[in-house]
Structure 1
Amino acid sequence: MGMRLATIGYESATLAEVIAKLRAAGVAVVIDVRAVAASRRAGFSKTMLRASLEEAGIGYEHLRGLGTPKPGREAARKGRIDEMEEIFAAHMATPEAQDALALATQIASERPAALLCYEACAAGCHRRIVAGLIRDATGCDVTDL
């Protein structure tokens, strides 16, 4: 079987549900693509999330460079997905984003990975764009969990 990449959003799920989905999908490492790895949702801030994933046998990598800049997050919250995508595309042209994308691609090439962000629906989230860039570089299959 070829390389696989998953994406997952935790907006409407508990930490236990997210971990169960990741394990069922055979994910070995979560790549957190949030610009700010803090959350009002219990268990999803960086330190607690890393510990919970590691306890479940899943690695964790936070790549802030793949997060959406604040204006893009604000546009997405207001449902202005086209605007978020324009802001994110400009961000992806930066050296920080390109370095993070290269690292994410390398990680995903080595073991089954999942891109994690907040939004439940990948269609309105920048993780879909990141997954597409990794797919273009590697030819991997992408699944939204």
Structure 2
Amino acid sequence: MAYHGEGFFANPPPSRERPLLRRQRVLLSLASLLSQRGRVSRTFLDKLLFLLKEEYSLDEHMPFYSFYPYNYGPFSQLFYYDLRKLKDAGCLLGERVTPLGVEKGQEIDAGVTEAVEDVVNRFATEEEAVKYVYSKYPEYTVKSKLLDSAAARVEPGFFTIGYEGKNIDSFLNILIQNKITVLADVRYNAFSMNFAFTESKLVEYLSKVGIRYVHFKYLGIPGEKRKELDSPQAYEELFDEYSRTILPANMAHFKRLEELGRKERVALLCFEKDATFCHRGVIAHKLEGAGFEVGNL
């Protein structure tokens, strides 16, 4: 059941309060309805938000939650972040929705309300929702503590991935679904304005899903060399210099990366979405020359 209304794009009324995001209002609406029925829990909320994305297509009409496999099926870091924000805003008290939260949860389009009511009516208990999700979406159960599953052997090799345009939940889901075991960060400085992709936070997130992080600083390009990249020609000149000078000067690090890829399933990380505009594309080409196949995620 997909929602095709227009109200998602209506401008919110002016207010001195910081307006809530549309996904946060959906969360409050869902929590309010579950609270009325005495069934609210974080796990139940998480699973129903997942179904609102997968089966009601709410993500096609607003920036919504992304999910990745974790201890109890699909999981969203952004969902837990929003719970904290909504508590700070006075909309939640523990897992109870405050009167303000109830009011804010009503500020959604009628079509969204219908979707929320429908998904709640489908499941009498949290256990029913979990059982349904596990049955229909087994790809999200590969890390589950509720299932007995021996770790399947994965073929070693290389992939590349950029985090541009991704949130941490969708990023982790891509890694897990492609059975990545090591994330090789080839940025010179493992820092990002998107804090989730700064080294310390990445290590934290990756360790929770059993993926190892390795920083190959010296396979990166120093920031001063990345200035004024305003044309395809500028990128071409930079990557030519990289392949002629920086990479040959750091072959010990490249050889270490090669050895890692003989035993592990490795994703090379940098920022750019398109590897054509990233030096990881040069590294990938060098690996292909050494006999490896390299995929792009």
TM-score by length of 1: 0.90
Q: Against the structure 1 CA distance between its residues 58 and 133, is the aligned structure 2 distance closer, same or farther, given a 3 Å change threshold? A: same
- CA shift for structure 1 position 14: 0.6
CA distance in 2, matches of 1:113, 1:140: 12
Per the alignment, residue 142 of structure 1 pairs with 294
2:247 pairs, out of 77, 92, 98, with 92
Q: Within 2, Cα distance between the matches of 1:128 and 1:58?
A: 22
User: Distance between the aligned counterparts of 1:106 and 1:78, measured in 2?
Assistant: 35
> 1:4 offset after TM fit, Å?
2.5
1:110 & 1:18 partners in 2: Cα distance?
23
Structure 1 stretches lacking a partner, 5+ long = none
How do 1:56-67 and structure 2 match up within 5 A? Answer: 56-67=209-220
The corresponding residue for 1:37 is 190
- Checking the alignment, whether the CA contact within 8 Å between 2:287 and 2:294 is kept in structure 1 is no
> In the alignment, is residue 17 of structure 1 matched against residue 177 of structure 2?
no
Moved over 4 A (4+): none
Distance in 1 (alpha carbons) for counterparts of 2:212 and 2:272: 21
What is the deviation of 1:107?
0.8
- Output the CA distance in 1 between the equivalents of 2:262 and 2:226: 28
The answer to whether the 8 Å contact 2:181/2:266 transfers is: yes
Counterpart amino acid of residue 183 in structure 2: V
Q: How does 1:45-64 map to 2 (within 5 A)?
A: 45-64=198-217
Q: Percent identity?
A: 27
Q: Tell me, which stretches of 5 or more residues in structure 2 are unaligned?
A: 1-153
- Structure number having the greater strand percentage: 1
Distance in 1 of aligned mates of 2:223 and 2:237: 12
1:143 partner SS = strand
Residue identity matched to 1:91:
I
Cα distance in 2 between the residues matched to 1:52 and 1:85: 31
TM-score, normalising length: structure 2: 0.45
C-alpha distance in 2 between matches for 1:6 and 1:106: 14
- Superposition RMSD in Å: 1.6
| Larger Cα-atom Rg | 2
Counterpart in the other structure of 1:81: 235
On the 8 A contact 1:69/1:88 being kept in 2, the answer is no
Deviations 1:41-66 (CA, angstroms, capped at 9, x unpaired)? 13100111011111111110000011
Q: Distance in 2 between matches of 1:14 and 1:70?
A: 23
The CA distance in 2 between the partners of 1:115 and 1:37, in whole Å, is 13
Tell which deviates more after alignment, 28-37 or 85-94: 85-94
Counterpart in the other structure of 1:6: 159
Higher RCO (C-alpha 8 Å, min separation 6): 1
Structure 2 letter corresponding to 1:59? R
